[in-house]
A and B are shown apart, each in its own frame.
Chain A
Amino acid sequence: MAKEAVKYVWEGAIPLQIHLHKSDVASHPAPPPALVLAPRIGYLPLLIPLIKPYFKDSLPPGEDSIWFDYKGFPLKWYIPTGVLFDLLCAEPERPWNLTIHFRGYPSNILIPCEGEDSVKWNFVNSLKEAQYIINGNCKNVMNMSQSDQEDLWTSVMNGDLDAYTRLSPKLKMGTVEDEFSRKTSLSSPQSQQVVPETEVAGQVKTARIPVRLYVRSLNKDFENLEDVPEIDTWDDISYLNRPVEFLKEEGKCFTLRDAIKSLLPEFMGDRAQRSGEERSIDDTEEADGSREMGEIKLVRIQGIEMKLEIPFSWVVNNLMNPEFYLHISVLVKAPQR
C-alpha cells in the first residue's frame, strides 16, 4: 500500500485535448484537436513529439517555436503538467483543452525552451536544489555518472517507476522517516525509499523538505469552484520555493496544516483548530475577522485535496515529484485592501 500511492502518482496522467491555434492553421480544413495523455509528473514540451504528428501537415512553413496556452494564458513549461492543471483549473476540466502554438513564442512571458534538453536540464537542476536542501550539499548528484543521469531522466520521461526506484538510491537523498508509510505497507515489503536514515534515529529531527508552492490569489470570493474566474496573468500566481522545516517531535505529528502554516502564515492564522473538510475550507463567507486576511480556498497536491491532518511525512514520501520536490498548488482569496 505504500507503493500504491507512489504508483498512482507515477501513473497519473491528464487527458489533454490540444487544439492548433487558428493562426497556425495552414491547411483546409483545420485539423481536429489531438488527444493525448500527459503524465502528471511530466512536462508539456515532452509531449511535443506526440502532438506534432497530428498537426504537422497543417503548419505554415517556417521554424517552429512551440508553446502552449490555456484559454489564452501562456503556460510555463518548467512546471510539471499536473501542477499546471491543478493550479489553473479550479474545477478540473477533463479533458483539459489546451491550445498549441507553433509560432509567435511569447518571449516576454516564457523563457525559451529548446526541447527535451531544456527540460532535462531543468530536472537535473531541481534535483541538485533538492539535494542541497536535504543534504546540505549536492555532491551526490554531481558525482553521479552521465549514463546514470541519462537513465534516471529516461525513467522519469517514460514514467518507468521500477527503473527510477533502482536508480534513485544512488542519489542518497535523505528521506523523512515515515512510520505511517511503514504501517500502511506492512503487508508489502518495505521499499527502500523509507529505510530510516541515520539522521532520523532517536533524535529531534529537523529535516528540510524541498517544497514548491504555487499560490493563486483571487480577488473575489466564490461559492463553487466552477465560478472561479479564469486566470489572466502570471502576476496572479506567486511562486514560493521555500523548504519546510520538518520538526520531528515525539508524540506529535507534523501535519500538512503545520507545513502550510509554516509556508503561508498569513493565510492560516488561527485556523489550526479547524478540522479540514475533505474538499476545502470554504467557510470564507464568515466574515469574522478574516476580512483582513486572505483565505486559503484550495490545497491540491498531485491533483488531490486532502484533509489537512494528514501527516506531512506521508505526503512527502508519497506525493513528491521525481526531482524530490513537493509541488503544492494553493488557491487563496487575496486579502482585500
Chain B
Amino acid sequence: MSQEEKAMEAIKDALRALRKRHLLEEGAHAPAISALSRPIISQGSEWKEKTEKLETELQQCYKAQSRLSEQLVIEVAESRTSKAILQEKELLINDLQKELTQRREECTQIQEELEEKTKMVDVLIAENQEIRSQLEEMTGRVQKAESENKMLIDRWMLQKMQDAERLNEANDLYEEMLAKLKANGLETLARQQVDGIVRRNEDGTDHFVESTIPSTCGHRIHAHEGGCGSIIFEYNSGTLFTGGQDRAVKMWDTNSGALIKSLYGSLGNILDMAVTHDNKSVIAATSSNNLFVWDVSSGRVRHTLTGHTDKVCAVDVSKFSSRHVVSAAYDRTIKLWDLHKGYCTNTVLFTSNCNAICLSIDGLTVFSGHMDGNLRLWDIQTGKLLSEVAGHSSAVTSVSLSRNGNRILTSGRDNVHNVFDTRTLEICGTLRASGNRLASNWSRSCISPDDDYVAAGSADGTVHVWSLSKGNIVSILKEQTSPILCCSWSGIGKPLASADKNGYVCTWT
C-alpha cells in the first residue's frame, strides 16, 4: 500500500473507531440517561420555575404582610386610643348625665321654691300695700292729731297765759293790797317779776337791812400814807379793812374810828382786798405780783399766792366756800386759787386787762370788767368764757354784785355806772351824774345792802349816791378833797366808807 492509501486506510479506521465509540458511549447511554433525567430535569425545571414563582409570590406576600402588619399595628394602636377615648367619653357622659339629673332636680326644686316665693311675694306685696294704705291713713291721722295737738297746746298755753295773767292780776291786786298795807316794802317784791313769771325772791331777805341814805360824815381817819386804794367792810359788821400804798392792811372800828389791828407782810402796794365770808381771812392783791392771805385773828400771813407776772389789781373770794379765790392781774390773766391747797388751780387768759373782778353768789361764775369796756363772765371750773357784754365805752373800773346776786354794778371810765341783771346780762339801769368823774382805773363803786343805792366816788372828792329804783341822785357827800378811789357800804346798812388818794378814809352815816 502506498502511503496515501495507508493514510486513507488509517483515517477510515479512525472514523470507524469514532463511530464505534459513539455507539458504545453516548449512543448507548445518552438515550437512557436523557430518558431518566428528562422528567427529572423537566420536573426539576418545572419545580424550579414553580419554586421561583412561588418564591416571588411569597416575597410579595411577605412584603404585603409586613405592610399590612404595620398598618395593623397602627390601626390597633389607634383603635386602642379611640377605645380609651371612648371609655373616657362614656364616663364623662355618665358623669354629665348624673349631673344633668341632679341639676334638673335642683332646677325643679328651685322652680318650686320660686313659685312659693313668688306667691309669698305676692302675698307680701298685697300686705305691704294694705299696710301702706294703713300707714297713709295713720300718717294722715297723726298729722291731724299733731295739728290738733299743736292747736290744743297753743290754746292751752294761751289759757295758761291767760291764767297767769289773771293770776298776775290777782297777785297784783293782792300785792297792791298788801302794798297798801305795807306801803314801801312790797313794791320791791312786785318789781322782781321777770317775763311775766312770778318769782318770789327770798335770797336777799336773809340779811335784808334797810340802808339809810348817808349824809353826814362820821369819822375822818388818816389810814395810810400815800393813798388808800382799797377798803372793805367785814361781813355784817362795821369793821373796816383798809389797804394802802404803805403796804399795810389796817382794821378799823368805824363806830369809834379806832385802829383795831394792822396786818403787815405785804411786799407791795395793796391794790384790792377781799374778806372771806367767815371774816377769818383777808386776801390782798398787791403790786408785787403776789396775793397775801392773812389770818385776821393771828395777824400773820397764812398764804402767799404767787404766780402772777404783773401787779394783781383785783381779787375776790367765793362767798359760798371760803376756799376759792379769784384774782386778776395786769398780765391779762385771771387766776383761780384754792386756799386749802395754796396754789393756783386754773388760769384764764384774755386779751384785755381786767381791772375788777367779782365772784357770783354760787361761786361758779366770775365777773370781770376789762379795759376794753366789756364785762365778761367765766366759768370757774373750766375757765371758759361764758358770755361777754359791752358795758362801757371805755375801761370798766369796778364790778360789784348786789347782795342777792341778781344785780351787778359796773362802773366805767366813761363816768357811767351800769346795772346789769346777772342772769340775762341786760342793763337794768344806768346812772350818771355831771359832777361824777371816775378818778382811776380802779375806782370802786358799791351797792347798798338793800340793793337800792349806789355810791360812787369822783375825782373831785365827792361821793355821789343814786337810788336805783328811782334812778336819781339822792345825795352828794362832800368832805374829802382828793380824788375818791374806793367806796364800800357796810353790810349792816351803815356806814358808807370812802377812801381817797391822800389816804384818808371817811365814814358816812
Report which A residues bind B (CB closer than 8 A): 1, 4-5, 8-9, 11-15, 35-37, 50, 53, 92, 94-95, 180, 183-184, 252-253, 255-256, 278, 302-311, 314-315, 318-319
The answer to whether the Cβ of B3 comes within 8 Å of any Cβ in the partner chain is: yes
Q: How far is it, in angstroms, between the C-alpha of A180 and the C-alpha of B9 when the chains are bound?
A: 11
Minimum CB–CB distance for B334 against chain A, Å: 142
Structural contact, B13 and A310, CB atoms closer than 8 A = yes
Task: Find A304's partner among B17, B34, B44 (CB 8 Å cutoff).
Answer: B17
Structural contact, A12 and B22, CB atoms closer than 8 A = yes
Structural contact, A180 and B37, CB atoms closer than 8 A = no
Q: Give the interface SS of chain B, mostly helix, strand, loop or mixed.
A: helix
Structural contact, B36 and A35, CB atoms closer than 8 A = yes
The answer to whether the Cβ of B349 comes within 8 Å of any Cβ in the partner chain is: no
Q: Which residues of A contact B10 (CB under 8 A)?
A: 255-256, 306-311
The answer to whether the Cβ of B4 comes within 8 Å of any Cβ in the partner chain is: yes
Q: Which residue of A lies closest to B7 (CB)?
A: A311
Minimum CB–CB distance for B21 against chain A, Å: 5
Task: Find A14's partner among B15, B17, B18, B25 (CB 8 Å cutoff).
Answer: B25
Structural contact, B22 and A310, CB atoms closer than 8 A = no
The answer to whether the Cβ of B28 comes within 8 Å of any Cβ in the partner chain is: yes
Task: Find A13's partner among B13, B26, B32, B36 (CB 8 Å cutoff).
Answer: B26
Query: Which of B19, B21, B37 neighbours the largest number of chain A CB atoms within 10 Å of its CB?
Result: B21
Minimum CB–CB distance for A209 against chain B, Å: 17
Q: Which residues of B contact A256 (CB under 8 A)?
A: 10
Q: Which residue of B lies closest to A95 (CB)?
A: B29
| Given known contacts A37-B29, A37-B30, A253-B3, A306 and B14 CB-to-CB distance under 8 angstroms | yes
Q: Which residue of B lies closest to A85 (CB)?
A: B25
Task: Find A309's partner among B7, B18, B32, B33 (CB 8 Å cutoff).
Answer: B7
Q: Which residues of A contact B14 (CB under 8 A)?
A: 5, 304, 306-307, 310, 314-315, 318-319
Q: How far is it, in angstroms, between the C-alpha of A35 and the C-alpha of B29 when the chains are bound?
A: 9
Known: A11-B26, A15-B30, A180-B11. 14 other contacts (CB 8 A): A4-B15, A5-B15, A9-B18, A12-B26, A13-B26, A35-B37, A252-B3, A255-B10, A302-B18, A306-B17, A309-B10, A310-B10, A310-B13, A311-B10
User: Which A-B residue pairs are the 4 nearest by beta carbons?
Assistant: A310-B10, A15-B29, A304-B17, A13-B26
Structural contact, B24 and A94, CB atoms closer than 8 A = yes
Structural contact, B25 and A278, CB atoms closer than 8 A = no
18 pairs, A vs B, C-beta closer than 8 Å = A5-B14, A8-B21, A12-B26, A13-B29, A15-B30, A15-B33, A37-B26, A37-B29, A53-B44, A95-B29, A180-B11, A255-B7, A255-B10, A278-B17, A304-B17, A309-B9, A310-B10, A314-B7
Structural contact, A94 and B22, CB atoms closer than 8 A = no
Minimum CB–CB distance for B63 against chain A, Å: 28
Q: Which residues of A contact B7 (CB under 8 A)?
A: 180, 253, 255, 309-311, 314
Task: Find B4's partner among A8, A13, A253 (CB 8 Å cutoff).
Answer: A253
Q: How far is it, in angstroms, between the C-alpha of A144 and the C-alpha of B22 when the chains are bound?
A: 34
Q: Which residues of A contact B26 (CB under 8 A)?
A: 11-15, 37
| Given known contacts A94-B24, A253-B3, A304-B17, A311 and B29 CB-to-CB distance under 8 angstroms | no
Q: How far is it, in angstroms, between the C-alpha of A36 and the C-alpha of B3 when the chains are bound?
A: 42
Q: Which residues of A contact B24 (CB under 8 A)?
A: 92, 94
Structural contact, B33 and A35, CB atoms closer than 8 A = yes
Query: Which of B4, B18, B19, B21 neighbours the largest number of chain A CB atoms within 10 Å of its CB?
Result: B18
The answer to whether the Cβ of B74 comes within 8 Å of any Cβ in the partner chain is: no
Query: Which of B10, B20, B32 neighbours the largest number of chain A CB atoms within 10 Å of its CB?
Result: B10
Q: How far is it, in angstroms, between the C-alpha of A135 and the C-alpha of B293 when the chains are bound?
A: 181
Q: Which residue of B lies closest to A34 (CB)?
A: B37
Q: Which residues of B contact A304 (CB under 8 A)?
A: 14, 17-18, 20-21
Q: Which residues of B contact A11 (CB under 8 A)?
A: 22, 26
Structural contact, B13 and A278, CB atoms closer than 8 A = yes
Structural contact, B13 and A307, CB atoms closer than 8 A = yes
Structural contact, B19 and A311, CB atoms closer than 8 A = no
Q: Which residue of A lies closest to B6 (CB)?
A: A309
Q: Which residues of A contact B32 (CB under 8 A)?
A: 35
Minimum CB–CB distance for B9 against chain A, Å: 7
Interface 1/0 per residue, B155-186 and A, CB below 8 Å: 00000000000000000000000000000000
Task: Find B19's partner among A8, A310, A318 (CB 8 Å cutoff).
Answer: A8
Minimum CB–CB distance for A101 against chain B, Å: 22
| Given known contacts A11-B26, A253-B3, A307 and B8 CB-to-CB distance under 8 angstroms | no
Structural contact, B22 and A311, CB atoms closer than 8 A = no
Q: Which residue of B lies closest to A9 (CB)?
A: B18
Q: Which residues of B contact A94 (CB under 8 A)?
A: 24-25, 28-29
Q: How far is it, in angstroms, between the C-alpha of A36 and the C-alpha of B37 when the chains are bound?
A: 8
Minimum CB–CB distance for B17 against chain A, Å: 4
Structural contact, B21 and A303, CB atoms closer than 8 A = yes
Q: Which residue of A lies closest to B20 (CB)?
A: A304
Q: Which residues of B contact A9 (CB under 8 A)?
A: 18
Minimum CB–CB distance for B155 against chain A, Å: 147
Task: Find B11's partner among A8, A53, A302, A314 (CB 8 Å cutoff).
Answer: A314
Q: How far is it, in angstroms, between the C-alpha of A241 and the C-alpha of B353 when the chains are bound?
A: 172
Q: Which residues of B contact A302 (CB under 8 A)?
A: 18, 21
Q: How far is it, in angstroms, between the C-alpha of A303 and the C-alpha of B25 when the chains are bound?
A: 10
Interface 1/0 per residue, B272-297 and A, CB below 8 Å: 00000000000000000000000000
Q: Which residue of B lies closest to A310 (CB)?
A: B10
Q: How far is it, in angstroms, between the C-alpha of A81 and the C-alpha of B30 when the chains are bound?
A: 16
Q: Which residues of A contact B29 (CB under 8 A)?
A: 13, 15, 35, 37, 94-95
Structural contact, A13 and B25, CB atoms closer than 8 A = yes
Q: Which residues of A contact B37 (CB under 8 A)?
A: 35-36, 50
Q: Which residue of B lies closest to A255 (CB)?
A: B7
Minimum CB–CB distance for A333 against chain B, Å: 23
| Given known contacts A35-B33, A311-B7, A306 and B13 CB-to-CB distance under 8 angstroms | yes
Q: Which residues of A contact B34 (CB under 8 A)?
A: 37
Query: Which of B8, B17, B40 neighbours the largest number of chain A CB atoms within 10 Å of its CB?
Result: B17
Q: How far is it, in angstroms, between the C-alpha of A148 and the C-alpha of B292 when the chains are bound?
A: 167
Q: Which residues of B contact A4 (CB under 8 A)?
A: 15
Q: Which residues of A contact B4 (CB under 8 A)?
A: 253
| Given known contacts A5-B15, A304-B18, A13 and B8 CB-to-CB distance under 8 angstroms | no
Q: How far is it, in angstroms, between the C-alpha of A257 and the C-alpha of B26 when the chains are bound?
A: 29
